[in-house]
């Protein structure tokens, strides 16, 4: 009986791991997709469409799994916190990919995310849990991030022009998303949490959209709509919801460790689809950052 239960648990764990890895692969492509969408209209319109379509895609899933649409007051506070953070992240995400390299952004942001999350947790939320290996990992990770952005020849104007400043701001915004998702786990079902986060995010960004610009999207070609579909339905509805679920299930730090899959896939997709140059500093910094994530999460 015990052997059978362990088999079931191991099977569920493997299924969860495979789903998370697939979700992170779609995140890797998302940087290329955002780069492709760069020339199409205003950033705020793309953010609105992404959130709105993602929210619509979740409605049949909530109905199928009998998840409630109702939220309590505490749950609403976490949803508002998450929605503001998501809007911030997506603004910097689209701005950075429009200016900078998709591959470099995919490496920098997704390796900085778990490192900055760990740093925030250890410094502010739970100082007692930090161990020597965690501190070493954080130092290595920050060094890796500095190498990726080539901090030795950077000034603020060059960081803005290259998109690196937006990459860093996007990563900081995602830390807030991760913490909010972990804190909301006892207040609201993760599917309900995702649906309302996406819907409220779309409503928050809508006042910043010009009506003419929203109408203009009906004239965009299939390339725009394929990538918008991937970024909203696949990446946002599926991958982000899986990440919210992981944050509530295994905690913010462990959930963010799955992001180590994204840098490699982002580089591969950017090279194959966009033919971007892969800088040696991006590879070196990415390897150091991934090593840091492994060290932080190693038991």
Mean pLDDT of the chain: 81
Q: What is the pLDDT of residue 3?
A: 45
Q: What is the pLDDT of residues 100-157, one digit of tens each?
A: 778 777 777 877 777 788 777 777 666 656 677 777 777 787 787 777 767 666 666 6
Q: What is the pLDDT of residues 198-238, one digit of tens each?
A: 999 999 999 999 888 888 998 999 999 999 999 999 888 88
Q: What is the pLDDT of residue 237?
A: 83
Q: Where is pLDDT greater, at 229 or 280?
A: 229
Region of poorest pLDDT, from 32-46, 78-92, 193-207, 229-243: 229-243
For the entire predicted model, the pTM comes to 0.81
The number of folded domains in the chain is 1
Distance, in Å, from the CA atom of 61 to the CA atom of 193, rounded to the nearest integer, reads 13
Distance, in Å, from the CA atom of 50 to the CA atom of 296, rounded to the nearest integer, reads 33
Three-class HEC string of 270-292: HHHHHCCCCCHHHHHHHHHHHHH
Q: What is the pLDDT of residues 4-32, one digit of tens each?
A: 334 444 666 677 778 888 888 888 899 89
The answer for residues whose C-beta is within 8 angstroms of residue 282's C-beta and 6 or more apart is 103, 104, 107, 148, 267
Distance, in Å, from the CA atom of 257 to the CA atom of 121, rounded to the nearest integer, reads 14
The residue among 14, 30, 72 whose CA lies nearest residue 262 is 30
Region of poorest pLDDT, from 85-94, 108-117, 243-252: 243-252
CA distances from 254 to 89, 237, 257, 285 (A): 20, 21, 5, 21
Q: Give the range of the structural domain holding residue 152, as residue numbers without chain letter.
A: 2-297
């Amino acid at each position: 009986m015990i052997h059978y239960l362990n088999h079931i648990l191991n099977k569920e764990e493997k299924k969860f791991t495979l789903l998370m890895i697939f979700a992170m692969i779609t995140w890797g492509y998302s940087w290329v997709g955002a780069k492709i969408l760069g020339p199409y209209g205003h950033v705020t319109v793309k953010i609105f469409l992404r959130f709105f379509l993602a929210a619509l895609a979740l409605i049949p899933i909530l109905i199928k799994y009998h998840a409630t649409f109702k939220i309590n007051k505490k749950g609403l506070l976490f949803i508002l916190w998450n929605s503001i953070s998501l809007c911030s992240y997506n603004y910097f995400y689209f701005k950075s990919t429009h200016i900078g390299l998709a591959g470099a952004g995919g490496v920098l942001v997704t390796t900085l995310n778990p490192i900055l999350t760990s740093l925030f947790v250890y410094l502010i939320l739970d100082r007692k849990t930090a161990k020597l290996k965690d501190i070493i990992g954080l130092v290595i990770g920050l060094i890796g991030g500095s190498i990726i952005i080539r901090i030795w020849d950077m000034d603020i104007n060059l960081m803005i022009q290259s998109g690196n400043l937006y990459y860093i701001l996007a990563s900081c915004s995602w830390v807030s998303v991760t913490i909010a998702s972990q804190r909301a786990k006892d207040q609201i079902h993760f599917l309900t949490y995702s649906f309302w986060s996406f819907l409220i995010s779309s409503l928050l960004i809508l006042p910043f959209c010009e009506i003419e610009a929203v109408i203009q999207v009906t004239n965009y070609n299939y390339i725009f709509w394929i990538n918008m579909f991937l970024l909203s339905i696949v990446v946002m509805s599926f991958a982000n919801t899986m990440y919210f679920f992981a944050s509530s299930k295994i905690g913010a730090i462990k959930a963010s460790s799955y992001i180590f899959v994204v840098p490699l896939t982002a580089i591969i997709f950017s090279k194959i689809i966009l033919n971007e140059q892969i800088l040696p500093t991006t590879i070196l910094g990415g390897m150091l950052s991934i090593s840091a994530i492994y060290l932080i999460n190693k038991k």
